Structure 1
Amino acid sequence: MSSALTDLFPLPIVQAPMAGGVSVPHLAQAVSEAGGLGFLAAGYKTADGMYQEIKQLRGLTTKPFGVNLFMPQPEHPGASTGSTAAAGAAPASAAAVDVYAHQLAGEAAWYETELGDPDSGRDDGYDAKLAVLLDNPVPVVSFHFGVPGREVLESLRRAGTFTLVTATTPDEALAVQQAGADAVIAQGIEAGGHQGTHRDNPETDGTGIGLLSLVAQIRETVSLPIVAAGGIMRGSQIAAALAAGASAAQLGTAFLATPESGANPLHKQALTNPLFVRTELTRAFSGRPARGLVNRFMREHGPYAPAAYPEVHHLTSPLRKKAAASGDAQGMALWAGQGHRMARELPAGQLVEVLAAELDAAATALSSRPAGGARR
């Protein structure tokens, strides 16, 4: 690990910030106390809700932790958000969102609820959350869906905060370095949840780069420390990411099944339920490509969902909540990475210890191999 990251947490294990109530303070606390880096997810929360979780976590641990922010999305093609977030994106028209709402009318009737208001907001309270994080600095802040402006990153640095930004291509990683972030999160196509693409281009759906190849390419493009993310479930995979050039690995689905996770029990069970055999990238639930377990909702609506985030997210929110409340996993957004079948129901702190032991064993095996390597 690079010295900057080593100063923050001793083990090269980062718990991914999973929005929607999964990355709760007790999960972040357990990971940080075990030597990794725990994360809170500010996405879909108010600024005060984020602050209250930070306050709670500080009452649970004195170890470093992180907070993740979603970048605001532009109103129309080429709109400025004061950053490079989603520059050049081509969001779907309001008419396309209306057509999708009409298609979802049957779901609303089935779950006996109204569809959400697609115009509920585009910036996720970004400015207010930044103000809180500058007034009450935390050790680490990461960004998803784009790159913050240089002035934002410099302000956080002056406050003593280490910054990371997600990238899904070498070009995006270069933009992260040019903006002045401290490190880049290389998110491979295997990752569960939303792809952190800077430009949401429907023509590139499903064309992402596999994690190990992405890490190697980014390593040759930028000089920043790299945190590898995407489908990692075992310490041996962490070792592979480190060998490819990463300084640490970020795991989401691996921690989703832990008892400390705030995920719905149905979501946790679905990770290893034989009914859910594979994952796909879909826009069905949010209007942005995100990887989840294939269920009825995804099969029926994924092919028709427009590229309209966060409008579709707001539109389907009541449906997802009613599906969860009624115990219907077929109507929920079951975000999961490609390694979901390898999920282990261990306490989060114990999982960190197991991953660290597996990493050590893999590193030892690798170092003991003869030079020149391959067995014949």
Structure 2
Amino acid sequence: MIQLKNELCDKLGIEYPVIQAGMAGGSTTPELVAEVSEFGALGTLGAAYMEPEAIRETVREIQQKTDKPFGVNVFSLSGSAEQSFKTSEVDALNKVRAEVGLEPVEDVDFMWVNRVTEQVEVLLEENVPVISTAFGVLPKELVERAKEADVVLITMVTNVEEAIEAEKAGVDVIVAQGSEAGGHRGTFDVEKYPSGANVGTFSLVPQVASSVGVPVVAAGGVMDGKGLVAAMVLGASGVQMGTRFLTTRESGVPAEYKQALFEGDETDTVITKNISGRPARALKNKLVRSFDDQTRFPYPFQNMATKAVRTSAKERGDAEYLSLYAGQGVRSVVEEESVRDVLESVVSEAKAIMSK
């Protein structure tokens, strides 16, 4: 018989097998993370784009709001990179900049420095109990240090091969992210899978669950208690939810983003590289339609190039140029709710189904 309180809950120190996704970019406020954890699920700070000291400050703020376990998500990317683009290569970018009232740029020089080691250093120093990663597993040295500190490691995967690799590397919990999931998914090798490994959640979960010996969490399109129970029937120990939390009162996304989610349905999202240069599922808008393979920069430079556009759009309240990351279950969000309301709904519905 399926039980809500299970091995995953014991491993994470939570009451209910629900993880709030660590969505980068400011949506996972300290209030959101703390409220999820206070309820008895696992709140997660999306820290991938944050400077190490900003992570430290935010982690301490979360710790002031809750003494329950929470996690922090980072991108496991290696190396640093620098790239220059000449005027002829930024025409599409300048067209978009003009549309939001920004001055054109000429030659563009990007410098990207991978900060995952410094980010994890902060998390270990601040005694964060759970660290989750996207785009791969942490480097071996960091995995060993996390293990020594009794940190639980979670990694997002999009196929069985990645799941096996993650388990061998020492990961404690594997999140199987189906193609329905919003935002960036955790595909390890985007050269091998240019659009991500696009396997649906309920095809992926049982295959991953039968291939590894650690708890598996289902992600992608899970919006309610029915999704939680269905995932557990297929072999998952719990679920990770992102889109459902974007429209909560505690979320950090602007009102225009929330309204776009309220108005969207399952046909309105696409997998696009035009926001960041890496495949991610988002609602269609002018930003998504403004680039193609020839005018888009590679990741992470496209993300850097569009940042000013997205910032300007946020200041002006223009959803057409925001990064409207969302999963295919977006039709299910129709009004702003509190975190507690969301979680009470998910848990009560799951319990009702399981009691039949």
Code of the residue aligned with 1:357 in structure 2: it is S
CA contact (8 A) 2:167 2:212 kept: yes
Corresponding residue to 2:9 among 5, 14, 33: 5
User: Aligned residue for 1:14?
Assistant: 19
Q: 1:304-323 residue pairs with structure 2 within 5 A?
A: 304=294, 306=296, 308-323=298-313
Code of the residue aligned with 2:341 in structure 1: it is Q
Could you tell me the percent identity over the aligned residues? 34
User: Aligned residue for 1:296?
Assistant: 286
Code of the residue aligned with 1:127 in structure 2: it is T
Q: Is residue 112 of structure 2 the alignment partner of residue 121 of structure 1?
A: yes
Measure, in 1, the Cα distance between the counterparts of 2:161 and 2:215: 16
Measure, in 2, the Cα distance between the counterparts of 1:155 and 1:67: 16
Measure, in 2, the Cα distance between the counterparts of 1:154 and 1:65: 20
Structure 2: runs of 5 or more not aligned: none
Change (3 A) 1:326 1:202: farther
Corresponding residue to 1:133 among 123, 126, 136: 123
Render the CA deviation track for 1:303-335: whole Å, top value 9, x for unaligned. 555471111101110011111111211111100
User: Aligned residue for 2:346?
Assistant: 355
Measure, in 1, the Cα distance between the counterparts of 2:85 and 2:225: 44
CA contact (8 A) 2:265 2:331 kept: no
Q: Which gives a bigger RCO, structure 1 or 2 (Cα 8 Å, sep 6+)? A: 1
User: Aligned residue for 1:53?
Assistant: 58
Code of the residue aligned with 2:344 in structure 1: it is E
CA RMSD of superposed structures (Å) = 2.3
Corresponding residue to 2:93 among 94, 97, 104: 104
Change (3 A) 1:285 1:105: same
Change (3 A) 1:202 1:285: farther
Measure, in 2, the Cα distance between the counterparts of 1:252 and 1:118: 33
Q: Is residue 212 of structure 2 the alignment partner of residue 212 of structure 1?
A: no
SS of residue matched to 2:74: strand
Change (3 A) 1:98 1:140: farther
Q: Is residue 14 of structure 2 the alignment partner of residue 23 of structure 1?
A: no
Kindly state the Cα deviation for residue 274 of structure 1 after the two structures are TM-superposed: 5.5
Code of the residue aligned with 2:353 in structure 1: it is A
SS of residue matched to 1:120: strand
Kindly state the Cα deviation for residue 227 of structure 1 after the two structures are TM-superposed: 1.3
Measure, in 1, the Cα distance between the counterparts of 2:251 and 2:200: 27
CA contact (8 A) 1:276 1:293 kept: no
Kindly state the Cα deviation for residue 115 of structure 1 after the two structures are TM-superposed: 7.1
Q: Is residue 349 of structure 2 the alignment partner of residue 345 of structure 1?
A: no
Corresponding residue to 2:224 among 225, 228, 234: 234
Code of the residue aligned with 1:66 in structure 2: it is G
Kindly state the Cα deviation for residue 113 of structure 1 after the two structures are TM-superposed: 2.4
Code of the residue aligned with 1:329 in structure 2: it is A
Measure, in 2, the Cα distance between the counterparts of 1:192 and 1:167: 14
Kindly state the Cα deviation for residue 131 of structure 1 after the two structures are TM-superposed: 1.2
Measure, in 2, the Cα distance between the counterparts of 1:311 and 1:288: 10
Code of the residue aligned with 1:211 in structure 2: it is T
Change (3 A) 1:277 1:296: farther
TM-score for the superposition, normalised by structure 2:
0.91
Measure, in 2, the Cα distance between the counterparts of 1:58 and 1:183: 23
CA contact (8 A) 2:265 2:329 kept: no
Corresponding residue to 2:172 among 182, 185, 198: 182
Kindly state the Cα deviation for residue 234 of structure 1 after the two structures are TM-superposed: 1.0
Change (3 A) 1:132 1:97: farther
Code of the residue aligned with 1:59 in structure 2: it is Q
Measure, in 2, the Cα distance between the counterparts of 1:224 and 1:97: 48
CA contact (8 A) 1:120 1:314 kept: no
Code of the residue aligned with 1:231 in structure 2: it is G
Kindly state the Cα deviation for residue 135 of structure 1 after the two structures are TM-superposed: 1.7
SS of residue matched to 2:291: helix
Kindly state the Cα deviation for residue 147 of structure 1 after the two structures are TM-superposed: 1.4
Change (3 A) 1:99 1:184: farther
Change (3 A) 1:184 1:329: same
Corresponding residue to 2:161 among 165, 171, 174: 171
Structure 1: runs of 5 or more not aligned: 77-92, 366-376
Change (3 A) 1:329 1:62: same
Q: Is residue 156 of structure 2 the alignment partner of residue 152 of structure 1?
A: no
